[in-house]
Structure 1
Amino acid sequence: MTGGLGVWLYAVTSSRDAGRELPGGLTGVAGEPVRTVVSDDLTAVVGSVPLEVFGEQPLRGHLEDLDWLETTARAHDAVVSALVRRGPAVPLRLATVFHDEDRLRESLAERRADFGSALALVSGRTEWGVKAYGDRAALTAAVTEARTAKAGGGTGAGAAYLARRRAQLSAQETIERDAAERAEQIHTRLVRHAAAGRRQALTDPAVSGRRDWMVLNGTYLVDDSSTEDFAETVSGLGVEFPGIRLELTGPWPPYSFAGTERDPP
């Protein structure tokens, strides 16, 4: 891929939706108009991009340029988000580029079952993110209270003080484990209110620019009819687990649940 035009893949939809027009004026990562490529029951939404910029070798260099990467990622996501608002679509990862339409059609044919399963999974559902941040002082206090209550305060002010002090020292020593346990409990509870859920890698503060202590970075595929219930569950868990602050984000295109990525030819 050193010259000419390649095919940048944004998302795959069902050909049953082929009658729906693409959002007007929608342009892609190279400012190109997006279009469709049909392969039996699958329809790919693509754009023609210059391989001198978006080919395999040039991309390796561009992807190390954070400004270029951010601009391109925003353009890619703008197309995907517009498609998801239009109906069920399986988003593809950034920089999925094929040499030509024939290669794309071959890939769609080879992965038809994967795309079909992914479309069935995301249909009528939306991805939401839940991040959990720990407050060390508040979490230590909460764990201390719980352990003091469980152990009993003993008789007399001195015994009660010693019991609380032991619980406090124990909480300080196990703060990381306690936070991890609460994050796992929160994730398990959220999955019960979703069609699917995944724990993602915790975000590096150097990347996010935040110093908050992240203990959970979860993504959840939620039925559109259950969005309010899911949001209420997040709020309730925030109250139930003092020392842990929950942050709900979304709606997002279902990138975490596409499950179809392979290296394009």
Structure 2
Amino acid sequence: MTDPNLVYAYAVLRRTPGAAAAATDLRGVAGDPIHLVEPTDPASPLAFAVGPVPAADYGEAPLKAHLDDLDWMESTVRSHHAVVAALVACGAAVLPLRLATVYPDEHHARQALDTRRAYFLSLLDRLTGHVELGVKIYAAPDITPPESGTDAGQETPTGLGVGRAYLAIRRRRQRRNEEGWRTVAQAAAHLTRTAGTLAVDRVAHTPERGSLAGPAPGTNVGNDAYLVPADRVDAFRTGVLAAAEGIPGLRVEVTGPWAPYSFALQPEPVMGPSSSLL
């Protein structure tokens, strides 16, 4: 790539020789080497893991256009995550940043490290030694949310034997579905409480629909992220799956562990000229 003129920041981390060495072996979203940008204050323990990117793809207007390009988004997400995961794997204390956090140049990135030092340190202190685990709860394919505003029991029979029989069948099916949905909803609430006792924090994400839900059968009714101590991952997974055993119409997936993206992306102070997709 020639004349890269923007700086893509992947993560904030505590500076260590191991982190600096790990960064030099990595390639970023545009295929260029990753390196660390250090603050102006040599006493600060922080650094950005950054790489160069072309303005033609990562300027403010192109970034907005890329939101509709699923292939581009998937490639960028994978590359971004690979950099963060490699930094975590080297043992660094890492605060993952939003996808496509871009600064005009290293000077502006360094300014952000200086002016937001206390903010970054507080988040790093909170997240160090923790990972993110996901819990996805699914209702079986034959159990669907009750249709609001409809009640087959209120429909007027046609007066024909076949019509009355049809309505009776519909009512029975609706009642079974409502009972199944109620069971799933109660079980999901219980699972959420159980997971909460095994974690430090929780972020509730919107349940996935359509292509986002993937090939898994059923309706996604719960899609939460949990902040879990790294040495409690197995206990969390075992506890959540045990709580879901034997519940009809319910399926649970525990995903991860990952870098704690959901807990790093908290509301931020205004930080000057940068942009991000998310």
Q: How does 1:241-252 map to 2 (within 5 A)?
A: 241-252=247-258
Contact 2:23 2:36 survives alignment (8 Å): no
Shift of 1:232: 1.0
* CA shift in 2, pair 1:23/1:107, >3 Å: closer
Amino acid at match of 1:185: H
Whole-angstrom distance in 2 between the partners of 1:226 and 1:31: 35
Q: Which secondary structure does the structure 2 equivalent of 1:36 belong to?
A: strand
**Cα deviations across residues 129-184 of structure 1 (Å, max 9, x unaligned)?**
11011126589xxxxxxxxxxxxxxxxxxxxxxxxxx9997564355454333322
Indicate the residue corresponding to 1:203 in structure 2.
Answer: 208
The alignment's C-alpha RMSD in Å is 2.6
Indicate the residue corresponding to 2:33 in structure 1.
Answer: 33
Whole-angstrom distance in 1 between the partners of 2:173 and 2:209: 29
Shift of 1:111: 2.4
Contact 1:193 1:230 survives alignment (8 Å): yes
Q: Using the TM superposition, name which of 50-59 and 29-38 deviates more.
A: 50-59
Whole-angstrom distance in 2 between the partners of 1:175 and 1:109: 55
Aligned residues: 236
- The question of 1:70 aligning with 2:74 is answered yes
- The question of 1:95 aligning with 2:88 is answered no
Q: How does 1:144-163 map to 2 (within 5 A)?
A: none
Shift of 1:192: 0.9
Per residue, is there more helix in 1 or in 2?
Answer: 1
Contact 1:127 1:250 survives alignment (8 Å): yes
Q: How does 1:98-247 map to 2 (within 5 A)?
A: 98-135=103-140, 172-173=177-178, 175-210=180-215, 211-239=217-245, 241-247=247-253
Q: Which secondary structure does the structure 2 equivalent of 1:92 belong to?
A: strand
Whole-angstrom distance in 1 between the partners of 2:179 and 2:119: 43
Indicate the residue corresponding to 1:12 in structure 2.
Answer: 12
Structure 1 spans left out of the alignment, 5+ residues: 140-165
Identical columns (%)? 37
**Cα deviations across residues 2-54 of structure 1 (Å, max 9, x unaligned)?**
x8511100000113x35542255310011110000112221110001111221
Whole-angstrom distance in 2 between the partners of 1:44 and 1:206: 34
Structure 2 spans left out of the alignment, 5+ residues: 145-170, 274-278
Indicate the residue corresponding to 2:56 in structure 1.
Answer: 52
Whole-angstrom distance in 2 between the partners of 1:171 and 1:187: 24
Amino acid at match of 2:27: T
Amino acid at match of 2:75: T
Amino acid at match of 2:55: L
Shift of 1:238: 1.4
Amino acid at match of 2:234: E
Whole-angstrom distance in 2 between the partners of 1:57 and 1:233: 46
* CA shift in 2, pair 1:98/1:253, >3 Å: same
Shift of 1:75: 0.9
* CA shift in 2, pair 1:82/1:138, >3 Å: same
